Amino acid sequence: MPTTETSLRAAPSTEAVELTRRLAARTMRSWNLLKAEEAVTAIVAELVANVVQHACTPLELRLALLDGKVRIEVRDRDDRLPVPRTADILAEGGRGMFLVEVYSTRWGAEGAPGGGKVVWAEVDVDGDPGPHGPHLSRGTSPRP
């Protein structure tokens, strides 16, 4: 199966979250992956929101369909890797990476060539795409 992909570069603004979420939704529809739309758009929104809130650098979103999975990659120019944490039940934030864990089949983060990082997640689309529960893998999966 050939790789199908789309990408988008954006400034670190709150508008980038909505723009990338909409791109992800349109992409899932154009790839006829309606069952994966909720998971993929939720992951995209969380990863991009993390860049906007924590990295504050330009970002690049890449969506790729290969071998029965959708791979989501968000690259920024901050070298700090995400750290999942347990949020206080009354806290307004702190659940982003938990949601990525819940909606993805696996996810990870790795340094990017030339600096920064790529945070990635995969959603299986052979059969029921998710949510699948948490599966954490840090930097162990090669880019397709």
One-character DSSP codes across 30-71:
HTT-GGGHHHHHHHHHHHHHHIIIII-S-EEEEEEEETTEEE
| pLDDT for 138 | 39
Structure tokens at 50: 């993390």
Whether omega for the bond prior to residue 134 falls within 30 degrees of 0, making it cis, is no
Does residue 39 register a pLDDT over 60?
Answer: yes
Q: pTM for this structure? A: 0.82
| Beta carbons of 144 and 3 less than 8 angstroms apart | yes
> Domains in the chain and their CATH numbers?
4-124 (3.30.565.10)
| pLDDT for 89 | 59
Largest Cα–Cα distance in the chain? 46
The closest of 78, 81, 85, 80 to 99, measured between CA atoms, is 85
Contacts of 34 (CB under 8 A, 6+ apart): 28
| pLDDT for 133 | 38
Torsion angle, CA of 38/42/141/109, rounded to 10 degrees? 180
pLDDT band of residue 91 (cuts 50, 70, 90) is low
Mean pLDDT calculated for residue range 81-94: 66
Within 10 angstroms of residue 78's Cβ, the number of other Cβ atoms is 16
Q: Helix (H, G, I), strand (E, B), or coil: what is residue 82?
A: coil
| pLDDT for 98 | 84
